[in-house]
Amino acid sequence: MLIRRADREGGDGKLRPCMVISSSERGRDAKAETVLVVPLTSDTDGKQRLPMPVITPDPSNGLVQRSAAMCGRVSCIRKARLDQQIGTVHAQQLRRVRLGVAAVIGLTDLLTTQKLPIGTPPK
């Protein structure tokens, strides 16, 4: 997916790559107006302190260069701001990004103590 980041927080108005990390059910729900996204960057030098899983370009994901998922910049956006889908990541890549987001927002303790795979609601 690409996102136009020129909103109240500023930005240059260019389309930027991002990953939709909301559940696929939410993405298909016509009543849900928003999705969770993680922006991608080509700056993969590893100097960042926050989790930034690297995704290597392949034919299915549509990326043209190595990109890092900026897990510390997860945000909820309106679906109307999504421009076009450029590809699909593999399940393992999506899991690494979701785990990175869980670490950033402090949910890793829930994942390890309850041993729930990501996306499984507690009973």
Tokens 């100097």 found at: 47
How would residue 5 be classed by pLDDT, with cut points 50, 70 and 90?
Answer: low
The C-alpha atoms of residue 74 and residue 18 are separated, in whole angstroms, by: 10
Average pLDDT of the chain, as a whole number: 81
Give the residue with greater pLDDT, 95 vs 109.
Answer: 95
Task: Yes or no: say if 120 and 102 are a contact pair by the CB < 8 Å rule.
Answer: no
| 118 or 44, greater pLDDT | 44
Could you give the CA distance from residue 17 to residue 53 in angstroms, rounded to a whole number?
Answer: 15
Eight-state DSSP code of residue 107: -
Domain locations along the chain = 2-114
**What confidence score (pLDDT) does residue 24 get?**
76
Distance CA 94, CA 109 (A): 19
- The pLDDT tens digits of the residues spanning 60-101 come to 999 999 999 999 999 999 998 999 899 999 999 999 999 999
Place 14 in a pLDDT band, splitting at 50, 70 and 90. confident
98's CB contacts (< 8 A; 6+ apart) are 21, 118, 119
Residues 6+ apart with CB under 8 A from 24: none
Pick the CATH number of 2-114 from 3.30.750.24, 2.30.30.110, 2.60.120.260, 3.10.20.600: 2.30.30.110
* pLDDT band at residue 121 under the 50/70/90 scheme: very low
**Beta-bridge mates of residue 12:** none
Pairwise CA distance, residues 57 & 63, whole Å: 5
* pTM for this model (two decimals): 0.75
| Higher pLDDT among residues 13 and 104, named by residue | 104
Beta strands in the chain (DSSP E): 2-4, 15-20, 34-41, 54-55, 67-69, 75-78
> Residue 4 pLDDT > 70, yes or no?
no
